[in-house]
Structures are given as C-alpha cells and as structure tokens.
Structure 1
C-alpha cells in the first residue's frame, strides 16, 4: 500500500474536510457542547477497552509499561524545554509551558493511530492504552518545576522581584498538582479503565454496540471538529514564526523516535504496539495541559502553546507522522 493511500482512511479525511471547510470560510459549525460529548465518549470507550485488556494482562508487564510511560512523560518536556531555550527566541516561561504540552499526550492522535492500524490489519498490544492514561499528568509537573526554576533564576538575576515569585494563579503547588491529577480527561480515562477491569465480562459485552460498533463514526465526527479548530488556528501560524513552527514538527519526530526505541527495545512490543508508543511520544496535549498551564504559568502566552499543539503538531501527526512512525516501526522490526 502506498504512503498516499495510508492517508485515505475516513478519520483522516474527515479531519481534512474540517480543515478545508475552515480555510474556505464555510459556515460549518459544531454545536458548542458536541465536541465535549464526543471527547467524553471517546475517552470512556478507550478506557473501557483498556480496562478489559488490563483484566487479562500480565501485572508485571503492565507495571513495566507504566514505568516507561512515566519516563517518557518526565523526559520529553525537558528535551523540549532545552530545544526551545537553545533557539534564543522563546522566553523561558513560554518555553516551560510549551514543553509541558510535548510531554503529555493527545488522545485524538492516539485514536487516529488506532484507526490507521485497523485499516492496515495490524494487531497491537493494549498496554499503550494504560500508558495513555499515565502520561497525562507527569509532564504538567515537569512544566511546573521548569517554571519555578526559571522564576528563581530571574529573582537571583534581579529581573524579578522576590515579592513576585509566589505561586502562580490563585493557588499553590498543591492546587496545581490537584488540577493535574484530577483533570476531567484523566479521571474519565482512568475511571473507565478501572470499570473495564473489574466489571463482569458478560455485562461488558452488552456495551459492544456503544464502545465498538459506533466508535469509528464518533471518531470521524471528533476529527471533523478538530479539523475545524486546527483550520481556525492555522492563521496564527505567522505569530509563532518559522522557528517555533519548525519546533512543532521536529519535536514530535524526536519524541516519536524515542517512543519507537522504548516500544521496541524496552517493552518488546510488536510493530503495532511500538507504533502506538511512538505516537504517545510524538503527540502534544491540547485538552488536559492548556488549562493547567493557564493556571500555573499565567505569564506564558496561550496562543503560542495552543497554536503549536493544535495548529501545527496535531495535523502534522495525523497526516504525516503516524504513517512515518509505523514505517519506522516496520523497519526496526526487520533490522532486529
């Protein structure tokens, strides 16, 4: 199958339709709450599937996957921060907020990757579903630590008054951490996974029409809305500039390669599982992290991290990144 035909799956085409509709200034709009409903459905569905797999999973293997998910969630923001600072074009607090997005994950990108593997007939391990839930929060914590370190350096250098160095927003570190770990998407994903793990298997089969039969249709609607949103932010690309725009492409490739190495060598996953770990490493959050950064680092410019995560990295991964990561996973499996 050619690289072009890899893009001809309904989910990706609906994303392209939404993007195109926004570019031509169509009056196509989603009802305000529909996007939230679709997000809730997708998180619940993937969580239930992950929980059902977890119920039959090897506990030791699941624990190893969780550990490596934590490693990725802690390491990738540091790499992103270092790259942004090296450009000398990004303020340190902006760099901390942006970096936090690139250590967290995008459920939409992950779901698109599952759809992609399904069209290829590629099987995959279910442990990446657990990793998806785990990786939402660690990057937020790293972003907070980077911002705190930046503020202390600013105070030491005299560019910030000590009185200004208090905790950001209306709460302290405890409040920010609570926001990170009780974020609605995290609660839904983890809670649904627990339900899928402990519920009666026969009772869960009755949910198949809800969690399986309509899943791809709901994903297409979700990506149509995401295409509209990405198209809306496409005009902001000039604001982030070529250097930041380049970061929005280069950073997912770096994260994807690290994810490939972790999935193949550290976790021993198949091509499908390795592809999904690569997607986790490559994606950037646009749901859980932005509100946390808005509260934690109010000095940072939201248009920068929102435009990068949703307007640059998300469409890049959906259209080009996922086929690239899968191809690399195939090559890696053939070499070893």
Structure 2
C-alpha cells in the first residue's frame, strides 16, 4: 500500500509541474471548445528560443568538463541513447495499431534525458554524501541529441519506405507495358541514397539545426552572459506556452490513441526500468575502463531511465509534426518520469552491491 501511495503521490506531483499541467490545461481548453490560437510564427519563435537555450546550456557544460575524462562515458551515453530508440522501434513502434511515427517520437523522448530527473538524482546522492564526477551534467547532450536524431531519422525512413511501397503497390512498368526489374545492388543504392537524404534533411531541419547551433555556441563561444540574462529567465515561461499549444493539439488527436492506449501505458511503466538497466550496464563498462565512480554509474542509469520533458517535445513537434503529442508527452512525462524517479533507490542499491560507495 505504501508503494502505491508513493506512486500516486509522484504522479500527482508531476501533474502539478508546468510541463504536464499546461499540457492538460491546453487539452481542457480544446475540450471546452475554446477559440484560443497561437499564431504559427509565434510558435516557431518560441521553439527556436527553447532549443537554442537547451543547446547552449549543454555546450557550456561540455566546455567546462575535462574532455579526456568525458570521452568514454560520453561515447557510452551516445550508445545508450541510440540503443533505447532502436529497442523502442522493435517494441512500441512495432505494436499492432500503433503509428510508427507516434511510436518513434515516444521512443525518442524516452531515449533522451530529463534534466529535472537527473537533478533529482544528483540531489539524492548529495544528501547521502555519495561522490560522482563533476562532468556528469555534460553527459546528457550526448545521449539527448543521439536519441532524438536517431528517432527522427528512423521515423522519416519508415514513412519514406511506406510511401515508396504504396507507389509500387502494383507492378511498376515502363511505357505502360515493360515491368521494371531492379537487382539487389540497385535496391541497396536506392536505400543508401534514402538514408543519406533523410539524415541530411534531419540535420538541416529547424529543430535539430537550432539545437546543434546552440551546442556549438555554448562550446566554442562564450555566451554565458546572454544565456544567464536572456535565455534562462525566459525558458520556463516559454516552455509552458509551448505545452499549452501541444495540449490543444493533443486533444484534437486523442481519438487516434484510444484503441492503443494500453500499449503506451505498458511502455511508459516498464521502459524506464529496462532503459535504466541498459544505462547501468554502460556505467559498469565505464567503471571498469576508466574508474568511473559508483555515483556516476547511478546517474548514468538515471539518465537512461528518464525521458525528456524539455528538449524532446519541441524537437518532435517541429521535426515530426504528424506525431501525436498526447502519445509521446503523455507516455513520457505522465508515466515514464514518475517511474524513473521512483527507481532511483533501486539503482543506488545495485551500484552499492556491484561496486560499493
């Protein structure tokens, strides 16, 4: 009973936080038939500012970290983010009735990182006087960007293949009579061209471009003053407006989710634990290779277990506008985040058993 009460309390607390509260508020406005609209140029400007802020914050963290110490954990963080998305492509996105785009957008958010969940983990370790590396905060952009880009590329590839197969649904002919036959080599060349084109388009897209630009500015330039005086104060307010917009859109597409809602519930409740164990395993590898601390292993597991509530939603909304926000935000912030936070003591116990604090 105590465990159920803790879960209920955590879910209620998450619903009161701006990310989910404004999403629900937007859904309520749409349900009541409100005519409130946010002009598209205003929405795009908000997304630009949010992603530049997230990227700059990450770039500053990476710049201030020791690159040599960061290298192995950083590469492992990239591998974890990509692995989580690939796993989601085989589980949730492959579930009967689940839209591939919705599934990949959700997997992308689960592969990315929640800064608030990471901060909660750091706070708990600080309270227990458990040591962890000072560069841990710099690891999240590695996992974050890798997961988001992978999810977007895979979603666009699946959509392109589906479009191509629908065009080729019958027998393709040349001049109306002669069937077109391609060998395996030609098919492979077409596939390679498709992948390169989608990857290029993804990296050039407004969302990823803004995120990468912010990352580069934070790392190579010295934007600390404008970051602290302009971007940081505006961030929470702009994020709340964005979630309000996504909430209104989510309500209009809620009917699409009803038949497969159980798939998102199962994924949202189980994925953080599975992903956290993947991150924990990566942390153990880093420990044996470089002496990565037990506290660092715990925080890498927490990063993997968490799901993005800041950089992920605007990135997916901009890069995959056809994806349903009620699916990917509801599963990640509504279910995944409480489970990730409640799993922190488990990862601490595992690290103490495997390594010792």
Give ranges in structure 2 of 5+ residues lacking alignment: 1-5, 127-135, 173-179, 284-293, 353-357
Q: Specify which of 277, 302, 316 is matched with residue 304 of structure 2.
A: 277
Paired residue for 1:36? Answer: 44
Aligned to 2:267: 251
1: CA distance, partners of 2:226 / 2:22: 29
Alpha-carbon separation, structure 2, partners of 1:330 and 1:134: 27
The equivalent residue for 2:205 is 183
> CA, structure 1 residues 71+213, in 2 after alignment: closer, same or farther (shift >3 Å)?
same
C-alpha distance in 2 between matches for 1:235 and 1:102:
17
Moved more, 66-75 or 10-19: 66-75
1:28-107 equivalent positions in 2, closer than 5 A: 28-83=36-91, 89-90=96-97, 95=100, 97-105=101-109
1:318 aligned onto 2:320: no
1:290 to 308, 316, 320: 320
Q: 1:266 Cα shift?
A: 1.9
CA distance in 1, matches of 2:320, 2:138: 27
User: Aligned to 2:241, which of 188, 203, 221?
Assistant: 221
Q: Is the 8 A contact 1:21 1:228 kept in 2?
A: yes
Whether the aligned pair in 1 keeps the contact of 2:80 and 2:143 (CA below 8 Å) is: no
Structure 1 residues 148 and 175: CA distance shift in structure 2, 3 A = closer
Distance in 1 (alpha carbons) for counterparts of 2:140 and 2:280: 12
Tell me the TM-score normalised to structure 2 length.
0.68
Paired residues of 2:77 and 2:139 also in contact (CA < 8 A): no
The total of aligned residue pairs comes to 304
CA positional deviation for 1:9: 2.3
The question of whether the paired residues in 2 share the 8 Å contact of 1:22 and 1:232 is answered with yes
Q: Conserved in 1, the CA contact under 8 Å of 2:81 and 2:144?
A: no
Which runs of 5 or more structure 1 residues have no equivalent in the other structure?
A: 292-301
Q: Deviations over 1:230-259 (max 9, x none)?
A: 222213324xx2xx3222333344442233
Select the structure of larger CA radius of gyration: 2
Give the 3 Å change call, closer, same or farther, for CA 271–18 of structure 1 in structure 2. Answer: farther
Write the distance in 2 (CA, Å) between the matches of 1:11 and 1:151: 34
1:193 aligned partner:
215
TM-score (norm 1): 0.72
